[in-house]
Amino acid sequence: MIKFYNTLTKRKEEFKPIKEGMVGLYTCGPTVYDLAHIGNFRAYVFEDLLHRYLEYRNFKVIRVMNITDVDDKTIKGCQREGISLREYTDRYLFAFMEDMETLRLKKPDYMPRATEHIPDMVSLIKKLLQKGYAYRKDGSIYFRLSKFPSYGKLSGIDLSQIKPGARVDVDEYEKEDVRDFALWKEEKEGVFWDTEIGRGRPGWHIECSAMSMKYLGESFDIHTGGVDNIFPHHENEIAQSEAATGKKFVNYWLHCAHLLVNNEKMSKSKGNFYTLRDLLKKGYNPISIRYLLISTHYRDPLNFTEKSLIQADSTIKNYNAFYQALEFCKREKRDKSVKDAIEKARQGFISGLDDDLNISLALSEIFNLIKKVNISISEGSLSIVDALDVKSFLEEIDSVLAILDKEKKELTEEEKGMIKEREKARKDKNFTKADEIREILKNKGIILEDTPYGTRWKKL
């Protein structure tokens, strides 16, 4: 039984999809005005884990990730550079797609761009106008919060606590109520669309309502994002969508905590951020970055340090070295206890992740299996078939974790010859020569390990 912590109810709940075996999943995507930093990627890695795990548990997942390619920052950016909005946002969208691949983030089924869904937003706004949930003021259109009494149910915010003039933009005085938010902003020059509801551009929140319902239906299963999206973004999405359809918008809201640097939120405005590319330039392995981001529970704040990244890197190296070591088994005789240990690990992995994606629990089961199998390997009692079973189990769970280096490692004939030559030298007690060969191969990234059962190699 899968359970998720639902921000809407503030409880862990059993996950029951609307349609059996199917999941409609909407994950908030990037605003493509700049490179995403690894704090942003924490959310996307969490969403990736969720996506992959649901599939591992045999759900047919339909996932949407929106691309916000029109807002104040993208408009400012393209105007500053004197290029079109499209040209400007394409640049960062492509960079984002590249980064996604680097971090092994599974591609969502749909990645709709806001600018390609203006008509969908317009028709949603028209509906809200017809139903009296929206009103025009000058050329702009606002959502009428006074018409939607359940506003605040997601974030628990008390509207009377929001003081006009404090954090609320005071020059928006033309609204009926300062707390009303924009659905459509009038714009006569620069970036605008000519539509039935006027000339202008959409507010930020409306795109997610329009695009999620377009691809997933008026009610769907899961909506995710960072905790900073709870208010106002997701709260507003609920208001717009439920006002328009009269139906419950989303059943499960999942939010991930922030990535911190020196115990402060990593953010563009604080300047305390690393992009993925910054870290790659420093020589870090992207898979170690993925592992670091994935290995802390998504609802706990994660304090990012290079030290913890180095630790993650060691873990990944050991994990993959174990995977490679499975190639070097000679024994034929099966040992039933290996099969049992795999099954125990599988069950532990599942029950961990079933519990609101408790990754630490899931991983500890995997490491326990590795320890057990390592004992068999060093005793020389692991059979080829058992090793293959372990290997395919690691590959099975890698559909969720995506941290394995599955590239087939091969040696050239020359390298194989050198290993044989070294073994002969060792037999002849010519250790100087043996050590020389070991050193040469090491410089080529091939590490030799002498075991009682022969020399084993691994390639970095």
Partner RNA sequence: GGCCUGGUAGCCAAGCGGAAAGGCAGCGGUCUGCAAAACCGCUAUGCGCCGGUUCAAAUCCGGCCCAGGCCUCCA
Q: Which residue lies nearer to RNA by CB, 43 or 397?
A: 43
- Letters for 102-121 (x = contact with RNA by CB under 7 A, - = none) are --------------------
Q: Which residue lies nearer to RNA by CB, 22 or 315?
A: 315
Q: Kindly state the smallest distance separating residue 60's Cβ from RNA, in Å.
A: 25
Residue 164 to residue 174: CA distance in whole angstroms: 13
Q: Which residue lies nearer to RNA by CB, 282 or 424?
A: 424
Q: Which two tokens stand for residue 144?
A: 């009428």
Interaction of residue 448 with RNA, rule CB under 7 A: yes
Q: Kindly state the smallest distance separating residue 160's Cβ from RNA, in Å.
A: 9
Residue 369 to residue 344: CA distance in whole angstroms: 8
- Hey, how many other C-beta atoms are within 10 angstroms of the C-beta on 134? 24
Number of chain positions touching RNA (CB under 7 A): 92
- Out of 80, 138, 263, 336, the residue judged to bind RNA by CB under 7 A: 263
Interaction of residue 231 with RNA, rule CB under 7 A: yes
Q: Which residue lies nearer to RNA by CB, 88 or 247?
A: 88
- Out of 285, 426, 453, 459, the residue judged to bind RNA by CB under 7 A: 426
**Site residues (CB under 7 A) for RNA, limited to 169-188:** 169, 178-179, 181
Q: Which amino acid is at 271?
A: G
Q: Kindly state the smallest distance separating residue 257's Cβ from RNA, in Å.
A: 6
Interaction of residue 315 with RNA, rule CB under 7 A: yes
Residue range at the interface with RNA (CB under 7 A); choices 53-61, 165-173, 274-282, 388-396:
165-173
Q: Which two tokens stand for residue 229?
A: 């999206």
Interaction of residue 157 with RNA, rule CB under 7 A: yes
Residues 6+ apart with CB under 8 A from 394: 323, 404
Count Cα atoms within 13 angstroms, Cβ side, for 322. 24
Query: How far, rounded to the nearest angstrom, does the alpha carbon of residue 399 sit from its chain's CA centroid?
Result: 14
- Letters for 318-357 (x = contact with RNA by CB under 7 A, - = none) are x--xx--x-----------------------------x--
**Full strand arrangement of the beta sheet holding 302-304:** 264-265, 259-261, 302-304
* Max CA distance (Å), the chain: 93
For residues 229 and 27, the answer to whether their CB atoms sit within 8 Å is no
Cα-only R_g, the chain: 27
Dihedral angle sign, alpha carbons of residues 356, 360, 365, 370: positive
